[in-house]
Structure 1
Amino acid sequence: MRSLVVDAGNTRIKIAAYLFSELYDLHVFPFGEREKWQDFLKNAVYDTAIVSSVLNDRQTAELMSCVEDGLLLSENTPVPVTVEYDSRRTLGKDRLANAVAAYEKSRTNALVVDIGTCIKFDFVTSEGIFRGGSISPGLQMRFSAMHEFTGNLPLLKNKVPTKLIGNSTVNSMTSGVMNGAKYEIEGMINAYLEEFKDLVIFVTGGDADKLDLSALAPLNYDEHLTINGLYSILQKQNKQ
């Protein structure tokens, strides 16, 4: 069976193709390149499809018009984990997909660290119960906030590791963002490790490669974690 997974984020659209549970093709388009991703979707060949979108209603409708008979992931879509969250309607679809993928891969207590627009931690138990987690600003959001909310600090985009002590304003800002995020993530992971036994940790997200977390316990890097989680959700619908 040929399956299509569409993950529409804040700035990019990922389109993945699966054949008998194997990911064999992946394309990433900036959302602004509408003609390219619309043409790609309209010409895609598939039997089933799922769409996850964090876009507004108008943009999501535009996207869905290109995916014939596609399932739009919503708070009412059955998923392979039990969701213990105050409001599933407000739960990010990427967070839910990450939790599903982590549980499917580990079948034990699992923690997902998604380093992207925001830095998100999500925890799922060995019984397949999604408990929630935390959200904090991502790397670029931190750089942008310092520029936007001060009068003189420049807007930086240099997401590169740096020394602890910055010897210039640019280096000090870079240290504050990059080292601050690194130690924040390390501290959060260690807190989870203290509380939960047999914890498997997954790391994903567009900026996952920008931080050196090698000093921590074994980490499982998976750039396709969200996509694979969406595919697992689609498979659950196909089996019903």
Structure 2
Amino acid sequence: MNLALDFGNTFTKAGLFKGDELIEVIKVMELSEIDKVIADFHPEHVIVSSVSKSIEDIQQKLNGIPTTILRPDLPLPFKIGYKTPQTLGLDRIAAVAGAQGAFPESNCLVIDAGTCFTYDFIDRQATYHGGCISPGISLRFKALHNFTANLPLIEFEKDVPLVGQSTKESIQSGVINGAIAEIREIIRMYSDKFGHLQIIICGGDAEFFENKLKASIFVAPELVLRGLNRILLYNA
């Protein structure tokens, strides 16, 4: 049994795997809850990706279980063509690994709709080229509130008008419809440049965007966990 731990900016997830089969996903809110996951499932190997918790603190909770720490210089099942691989986000590495494992002979555009929108491109020759990063939905709402004098903080609602007829509706329309337009246009530009793409979307807001986009989309909510496990198996 393999355990993949993803300590993200907002959430922490644990994935239990037998080989490459995902058995169970657990949302872990605090580092202290790792003890229960270990006690319940007795994993033999662990891989950790963390952008929010100390690696040393995490390792103390793993009680000596053989552990692989995801970092940019770890051997990966694809080539990196990024100019500054040492600055590459760990979640982006894992998501690309998951996409390349699912679609090994395709050009893939991976869209992570979480705290930020990240777009990552890996070609059919298994070379990762990079992508782009922009603010996610919650960041856009917060920015409008925090950096203006009078605009209120608005919550994310799924059904928003195109034409806002109040300040609240106008903010909702600008943020949500603007994000949809951004994703559509990024997909179009990548398709124009690289031809046919397999488009994979993951992250906390992935399901919302699934039916808002005209392109054929593969929704993979656990893509990062699957990618972490793939990297673990590659380094076994």
**TM over 0.5, yes or no?**
yes
Query: For residue 151 of structure 2, what is the aligned residue in structure 1?
Result: 153
CA-CA distance at 1:194 after TM superposition: 1.1
RMSD: 1.5
* Pairing 1:4-15 to 2, within 5 Å after superposition: 4-15=3-14
Pick from 44, 60, 64 the counterpart of residue 59 of structure 2.
64
Query: For residue 109 of structure 1, what is the aligned residue in structure 2?
Result: 107
Give the SS at the match of 2:61: coil
Counterpart-to-counterpart distance in 2, 1:76 and 1:65: 23
Query: For residue 177 of structure 2, what is the aligned residue in structure 1?
Result: 179
Counterpart-to-counterpart distance in 2, 1:111 and 1:27: 27
Query: For residue 210 of structure 1, what is the aligned residue in structure 2?
Result: 208
Q: How many residues align?
A: 233
- Could you tell me whether the CA contact under 8 Å between 1:161 and 1:210 is conserved in 2? no
Pick from 67, 75, 79 the counterpart of residue 78 of structure 1.
75
Matched, 1:188 2:186: yes
Give the SS at the match of 2:164: coil
Pick from 46, 49, 52 the counterpart of residue 43 of structure 2.
46
Query: For residue 164 of structure 1, what is the aligned residue in structure 2?
Result: 162
Name the TM-score, length of structure 2 as normaliser: 0.93
Counterpart-to-counterpart distance in 1, 2:145 and 2:85: 34
Name the TM-score, length of structure 1 as normaliser: 0.92
CA-CA distance at 1:104 after TM superposition: 1.5
CA-CA distance at 1:70 after TM superposition: 1.2
- Could you tell me whether the CA contact under 8 Å between 1:84 and 1:132 is conserved in 2? yes
Matched, 1:25 2:20: no
Give the SS at the match of 2:148: coil
Query: For residue 84 of structure 2, what is the aligned residue in structure 1?
Result: 87
- Structure 1 residues 214 and 154, CA gap change in structure 2 (3 angstroms): closer
Counterpart-to-counterpart distance in 1, 2:210 and 2:24: 29
Q: 2:55 is matched by which residue type in structure 1?
A: T
- Structure 1 residues 42 and 77, CA gap change in structure 2 (3 angstroms): farther
CA-CA distance at 1:88 after TM superposition: 1.4
Q: Percent identity?
A: 33
Query: For residue 96 of structure 1, what is the aligned residue in structure 2?
Result: 93
Unaligned runs of 5+ in 1: none
Q: 2:33 is matched by which residue type in structure 1?
A: K
Counterpart-to-counterpart distance in 2, 1:46 and 1:53: 19
List per-residue Cα deviations over 1:185-217 (Å, max 9, x = no partner): 001001111111231110111011233544422
Counterpart-to-counterpart distance in 1, 2:21 and 2:55: 27
